[in-house]
Amino acid sequence: MKIRATIFLFFLVSQLNAQKYTISGYVKEAGSGEVLIGATVVDKNQPGNGMATNIYGYYSFELPKGEYTLKASYIGYATKEVSVNLTENISLNFNLEEEASSLEEVIVSATRSDENVSSVKMSTEKLQIERIKSIPALFGEVDIVKSLQLLPGVSTSGEGTSGMFVRGGSSDQNLILLDEATVYNASHLLGFFSVFNPDAVKNVEIYKGGIPAKYGGRISSILDIQMREGNNQEFEASGGIGSISSRLTTEIPIVKDKSSLLLSGRRTYADVFLTFAKDENIRNNTLYFYDLNTKFNYRFSDKDKIFVSGYFGRDNLGFQDLFGFDWGNSTFSTRWNHLFNDKLFLNTTLLYSNFDYGFDVNTAGSGFNWDSGLQEYNLKMDFDYFLNNNNTLFFGANAIYHVFAPAKITSQESNIQDFNLQNDFAIETAVYVSNQHTISDKLSMEYGVRYSSFAKVGPDSVSVYADGERKRPENEIQTDVYESGEIVKYYGGFEPRLGIRYLINSKNSLKASYNRMRQYLQVATNATAGFPTDRWIPADFHIKPVIGDQVALGYFRNLKNNAWEISVEGYYKWLQNVVDFLPGEDVLLNDRIETAVADGIAWSYGGEFMLRRNIGKTTGWLSYTLSRTQRQIEGVASSEPYLARYDKPHDIAIVVSHKFSERLSFSGNWVYATGAAVTFPQGRYTINGQNIAYYDDSKRNTSRMPDFHRMDLGLTYELSSRWKRYNHEITLSFYNVYNRKNPFSIEFRQVNNNDPTFNESEDGPITSTRPAAVKTALFGIIPSLTYNFSFN
Amino acid sequence: MKANKYKILSLFLAVLLSWSCQEIIDLDLTQSDPKLVIEGKLTNERIIQKIKISESINYYDTSGLAPFTEAEVSLLDSNFNLLKSFNYNPEDSNYQSNTPFGLGVGQNYILQIEAKEEVLEAKGIVLENATLDSLYYLSAEELQALGQPVFGEGYFMFVNGNLNNEGIEYFKLDVSVNDTLRNSRSDFSNSILTSEFFGKEFQALPVPGSFEEGDTVDLELYTLNEDLYQYYVEFINLLFNDGGVFSPPPVNPDTNIKNLTNPENEPLGFIQFSSIQKRSIIIEKED
């Protein structure tokens, strides 16, 4: 009751103001017609009166009757001013021209210049795609997810891999959205590249904490990626030829100012290089991936706009004719933006996501095909209600139908018999409401609540075990059978969200946030890095949803007219019902997953420091994270707390770009992280003639890999062009420039002739054998050359 | 099926390793107290049955495992009646029965060991072995002519037969060529078999590996109890664990030997109760 009264009072204050009129519209890029996200439209004389555009480029705010000069601005674009005599509600669109900046004014930010300090948002990072493209990358392949790993609180599982671990969360605790559709496996080549073609991407934003109520379904982070819409003014093409892949993107205006189509593709040609390998076993293999992105939009009017986008990507791995393995994602998004009036904006989205993999084993007598997949059908409605200048309400609902088909094995007329693992079905729903509330010039809040629910539905058969006994097949006392659509188990709960910003002055602010998240799906894996065959499992009769709470506090400061940003954040996160494998168990073909896992708790805490420069000839950032991540699972490591493998107390990244001239620019980064927490052996023995290490099973991850550090450098030179509309550049980059042999793995095994790569058939007779620790370092110094072009 | 993950990883890592490098590094490892290591394969074959007992050593120690000589080893029936005692034989560092004997198919047994003032016990049943009707081989050329994909050269062996027990059955298939057991890490991994995805009859089931003309190939097929199959699977998991991000945290395989005195202090190793079936074939050049 008290809360309701408080909210009422907040709204009442706004109602007491004088008669006001609404100004609303879109802010777009003049050259392409693409909407600009986060652009600001304000009253020039009172910049406090105004609004930033939402992710569809829409803004709405109120002013009293009168004459105003409205100013629309966006970093990197020329500010535009329009005078209006406000006597009624008006609709006003801005088309901003890209600014030809001088060398001293290079800007690499996708946010308002003072957003670091002024926004309620914390624990959120937005990276401009041009910034991502400038970071030197492995084999020259620009990688969005790996760029995010350079931010504080986001770490990687190992050399070159694209899995993300955010503030101590595991990689399946990140919700990865591409045009709002879930991407279940965001990596190619078993994790060494992410699936996002940077040419097709417009906006990248990651929420590590203080997650708004509109998002849910994962505990640790939300990675929200929007694809570009495509130029609706004139034809445009761009692409690149790299060391391992090539890309081509075309943007086609269908109806000028109203409609455009974007088509973008990327394919690797590692398989072409394989044919040059000396080893026949490698030469005859297949290894490639490709991505296709497409997006179509049509603007019926300023009130109605539709977007249809899709992504299709696939990896193929083949071992001669004997073995084939392929996997991939596909997503499909249809969105309809509708303005009921100048204050109420609705986005209705219909989404489809699919991830599947399959392999064929063609060996004589035991050939079979294996197919596995999961699908998500999602309907969302998200409302933005611009109640007044101090309150913007966000509310909505969504419903997801999940289908999990973990394994279907089909014989190739061999001794293998057909086999099906039971499919799983579930319905996940959520409703939410939140308010972005400016209480005073100094105090702003965003508060809200989300209610999510999850129903595991039939057909299903559930094993029931004897009370007090471990969930083992031998302890099963009955099997309950559920018909199609019948509810097997229902979970639900509130997820409160809160963000507070106190503006000390225009250069300093303090922020705090709290969020609770519920996650109803998890990946059942006992390895750290994701593998395409990892099985997503839903919460069910035995496995509960993971619940995560996080509090964060931060101090934010901007210096030198917002050219420098400083932020210091501390967080504490605690999770319930975290699942881990019991030693020796496997779930790949297990119909009773509950027999293989145990649940427990996890917690992580840390501090993150960020110093960033966005404007000037030299830009970049320094980030440092000090953190700890632990778990405690019944039946694992004597049920005592243990460190997660990805616990990295110290994690440092330095990212620098420097523009020497209009044509020549340099970029570089250096990363350092404490070595992963791992388990080393405490002895050795021999069984069946096999030498094998002995481990102390009462402890886990008490040792450390050697520390990780690496420097990458890149130079980009813009080539001269005979044609005005054709621009091209060449990038030379060096990954791991000082050739640091960072350990990808440390294996404990027998080594012959003191040579870990010894091959008896090639290297002669074995003269000695001994047990050793063998370090594998994946990538030494790797130079790469990329040619990029654009035609517009 | 699990082996397919290794195949995928092996293939992928083979490609990756073309960029990678490997080197031996020195790591200071904590040394735990020596653990008992027990290895026994008792079969229905009428022979001197043997049990090997030793102790684990420092990881870097290049000497062999020291035998543990002060144990008492007894074979009991399911009613705990003593059937056989085993005595330590210093000549081959094993505990062995005084006289040849074979286990009875369909019988349950208990092997009891008293060592370090603790009583250890493993239980198992000797299951009826599969029927192997025929064993034959085809050359790579013949397989290709039949439209079958072939990896490598030489001859490939196949077996026809049927299974004789209810439910899923488990086996270990040891392959020796010219009196040498094929026992590399991959050979060992391929030797552990399950009928989980097979019917009761099998035709042209491949024997792992390829062979050359003139090879004498000896096959020994052992039945396994489920707990021992699980032990071998975990053992192979550990054998292939490279300590990288694709590997699970290493854990010792779960032994089928229980410590009745101190349940927390289980030994390493296993006791296998099997029926055995042997076949031999010489690869001869076809006319």
Domains and CATH numbers, chain A: 16-100 (2.60.40.1120), 115-224 (2.170.130.10), 225-738+781-791 (2.40.170.20)
User: CB within 8 A of A255, min separation 6: which ones?
Assistant: A232, A298
Cis status of the peptide bond prior to A136, with omega within 30 of 0: no
Name chain B contacts of A680, Cβ cutoff 8 Å: 27, 29-30
Provide, rounded to the nearest whole percent, the portion of chain A with pLDDT above 90. Answer: 57
Per-residue model confidence as pLDDT tens digits over B17-32:
556 789 999 999 988 8
Q: Please answer yes or no on whether B204 and A751 come within 8 Å at the CB atom.
A: no
Token pair 């388990």 in the structure block, residue = A679
Name chain A contacts of B135, Cβ cutoff 8 Å: none
Q: Which residue has the higher pLDDT, B17 or A71?
A: A71
Looking at residue A7, its pLDDT comes to 43
CA distance B206 to chain A (A): 6
Give residue A557's Cα distance to chain centre: 26
Identify which of A240-244, A261-265, A277-281, A338-342 has the greatest average pLDDT. A261-265
Residues A116 and B145: their CA atoms lie apart, in Å, by 70
Looking at residue A14, its pLDDT comes to 44
Q: Please answer yes or no on whether A323 and B241 come within 8 Å at the CB atom.
A: no
Looking at residue A606, its pLDDT comes to 97
Sign for the pseudo-dihedral over CA of A211, A222, A155, B250: positive
In this predicted structure, the answer to whether residue A549 has a pLDDT above a threshold of 90 is yes
Sign for the pseudo-dihedral over CA of A192, A194, A200, A205: negative
In this predicted structure, the answer to whether residue B130 has a pLDDT above a threshold of 60 is yes
Closest by CA to A185, choosing from A315, A361, A286, is A315
Per-residue model confidence as pLDDT tens digits over A147-159:
999 999 999 877 7
Averaged pLDDT, A29-41: 83
Q: Please answer yes or no on whether A694 and B14 come within 8 Å at the CB atom.
A: no
Of B18, B32, B234, the CB nearest to A584: B234
Residues A625 and A610: their CA atoms lie apart, in Å, by 9
Averaged pLDDT, B30-43: 94
Provide, rounded to the nearest whole percent, the portion of chain A with pLDDT above 70. Answer: 94
Name chain B contacts of A286, Cβ cutoff 8 Å: none
Looking at residue A277, its pLDDT comes to 65
Residues A638 and B185: their CA atoms lie apart, in Å, by 30
Closest by CA to A75, choosing from A43, A37, A33, is A37
Q: Please answer yes or no on whether A361 and B4 come within 8 Å at the CB atom.
A: yes
Amino acid present at A369: N
- pLDDT interval class at A78 (50, 70, 90): confident
Residues A221/A174, Cβ–Cβ less than 8 Å: yes
- pLDDT interval class at A16 (50, 70, 90): very low
Name chain A contacts of B18, Cβ cutoff 8 Å: 277, 282
Per-residue model confidence as pLDDT tens digits over B164-189:
998 899 999 999 999 999 998 889 99
ipTM: 0.92
CATH number of the B131-224+276-282 domain: 2.60.40
Chain B 21-60, CB below 8 Å of chain A: which residues? 21-27, 29-32, 34-35, 37, 39, 54, 56-60
Chain B interface includes A521 (CB < 8 A): no
User: Which residue of A413, A531, A685 is the best one to mutate when testing the B interface, meaning the one whose CB has the most B CBs within 10 A?
Assistant: A685
Q: Please answer yes or no on whether A682 and B254 come within 8 Å at the CB atom.
A: no
Chain B interface includes A687 (CB < 8 A): yes
Averaged pLDDT, A76-95: 87
Structure tokens at B77: 């029936």
Give residue A631's Cα distance to chain centre: 23
Q: Please answer yes or no on whether A588 and B1 come within 8 Å at the CB atom.
A: yes
Provide, rounded to the nearest whole percent, the portion of chain B with pLDDT above 70. Answer: 93
CA distance A158 to chain B (A): 7
Give backbone dihedrals phi and psi of B230, rounded to 5 degrees, phi first: -60, -40
Q: Please answer yes or no on whether B246 and A531 come within 8 Å at the CB atom.
A: yes
In this predicted structure, the answer to whether residue B14 has a pLDDT above a threshold of 80 is no
The span from the first CA to the last CA of chain B, in angstroms, equals 37
Looking at residue A101, its pLDDT comes to 53
Beta-strand runs (E) in A389-520: 391-411, 419-420, 424-438, 443-457, 460-465, 476-482, 487-505, 508-519
Mean pLDDT is lowest, of A179-183, A250-254, A585-589, B93-97, for: A585-589
Chain A interface includes B274 (CB < 8 A): no
Q: Which residue has the higher pLDDT, A118 or B222?
A: B222
Chain B 152-171, CB below 8 Å of chain A: which residues? 156, 158
User: Which residue of A686, A763, A769, A784 is the best one to mutate when testing the B interface, meaning the one whose CB has the most B CBs within 10 A?
Assistant: A686
Looking at residue A279, its pLDDT comes to 65
Per-residue model confidence as pLDDT tens digits over A597-637:
888 999 999 999 999 998 888 999 999 999 999 999 988 88
CA distance A372 to chain B (A): 14
Residue contacts between A and B (CB atoms, under 8 Å): 256
Closest by CA to A311, choosing from A217, A187, A411, A183, is A183
Looking at residue A11, its pLDDT comes to 43
Q: Please answer yes or no on whether B251 and A584 come within 8 Å at the CB atom.
A: yes
- pLDDT interval class at A278 (50, 70, 90): low
Chain B interface includes A751 (CB < 8 A): yes
Of B20, B27, B244, the CB nearest to A773: B27
Strands B201-206 and B180-181: unpaired
Q: Please answer yes or no on whether B205 and A772 come within 8 Å at the CB atom.
A: no
Name chain B contacts of A596, Cβ cutoff 8 Å: none
- pLDDT interval class at B143 (50, 70, 90): confident
Averaged pLDDT, A738-748: 92
Looking at residue A757, its pLDDT comes to 87
Chain B interface includes A429 (CB < 8 A): no
Looking at residue A418, its pLDDT comes to 86
Nearest CA in chain A to B248: A527
In this predicted structure, the answer to whether residue A113 has a pLDDT above a threshold of 80 is no
In this predicted structure, the answer to whether residue A649 has a pLDDT above a threshold of 60 is yes
Name chain B contacts of A696, Cβ cutoff 8 Å: 30, 32
- pLDDT interval class at A695 (50, 70, 90): very high
Question: What 3-state class would DSSP assign to A146?
Answer: helix
Residues A773 and A778: their CA atoms lie apart, in Å, by 16
C-alpha distances in Å from residue B47, one per residue of A226, B43, B96, B99: 72, 9, 10, 8
Token pair 């990038």 in the structure block, residue = A731
Domain boundaries, chain B: 131-224+276-282
Amino acid present at A507: K
> If you ran DSSP here, which 8-state letter would residue A742 be given?
-
Chain B interface includes A287 (CB < 8 A): yes
Mean pLDDT is lowest, of A39-53, A120-134, A540-554, for: A39-53
Averaged pLDDT, A442-466: 95
> For the residues of A436-447, what is the DSSP string, one character each?
EEE-SSSEEEEE
User: Which residue of A748, A763, A766 is the best one to mutate when testing the B interface, meaning the one whose CB has the most B CBs within 10 A?
Assistant: A748
Residues A200 and A137: their CA atoms lie apart, in Å, by 18
Token pair 């395989």 in the structure block, residue = B253
Amino acid present at A592: R
Residues B251/A697, Cβ–Cβ less than 8 Å: yes
Looking at residue A5, its pLDDT comes to 45
C-alpha distances in Å from residue B237, one per residue of A335, A595, B186, B254: 47, 19, 12, 12
Name chain A contacts of B242, Cβ cutoff 8 Å: 745, 747, 776
Mean pLDDT is lowest, of A766-775, B60-69, B198-207, for: B198-207
Question: What 3-state class would DSSP assign to A316?
Answer: strand
CA distance A105 to chain B (A): 41
CA angle B114/B107/B165 to nearest 5° reads: 130
Chain A interface includes B143 (CB < 8 A): yes
The chain-wide mean pLDDT, for chain B, equals 89
Element (H, E) at A619: strand A618-633
Of B7, B25, B60, the CB nearest to A323: B7
Looking at residue A10, its pLDDT comes to 42
Residues A680 and B58: their CA atoms lie apart, in Å, by 12
Residue A271 forms beta bridges with which residues? none
Residues A267 and A288: their CA atoms lie apart, in Å, by 7
Residues A392 and A51: their CA atoms lie apart, in Å, by 10
The chain-wide mean pLDDT, for chain A, equals 88
Give backbone dihedrals phi and psi of A187, rounded to 5 degrees, phi first: -135, 150
Looking at residue A724, its pLDDT comes to 85
User: CB within 8 A of B23, min separation 6: which ones?
Assistant: A741, A756, A774, A775, A777
User: CB within 8 A of B255, min separation 6: which ones?
Assistant: B38, B231, B266, B267, B268, B269, B270
Residues A326/A316, Cβ–Cβ less than 8 Å: yes
Task: Print burial letters for A566-580: b (CB count within 10 Å at least 16), e (below 16).
Answer: bbbbebebebbbbbb
Strands A90-91 and A20-29: parallel
Give the up-direction half-sphere exposure of residue B110: CA atoms within 13 A in the CB hemisphere. 15
Let me know how long chain A is: 792
Residue A61 forms beta bridges with which residues? A23
Closest by CA to A163, choosing from A519, A527, A521, is A527
Closest by CA to B192, choosing from B171, B162, B213, B175, is B171
Residues B194 and B223: their CA atoms lie apart, in Å, by 10
Structure tokens at A298: 């049509």
Element (H, E) at A484: none
Per-residue model confidence as pLDDT tens digits over A302-333:
889 999 999 999 999 887 777 888 999 999 99
Looking at residue A709, its pLDDT comes to 95
Q: Which residue has the higher pLDDT, B243 or A585?
A: B243
Looking at residue B13, its pLDDT comes to 56
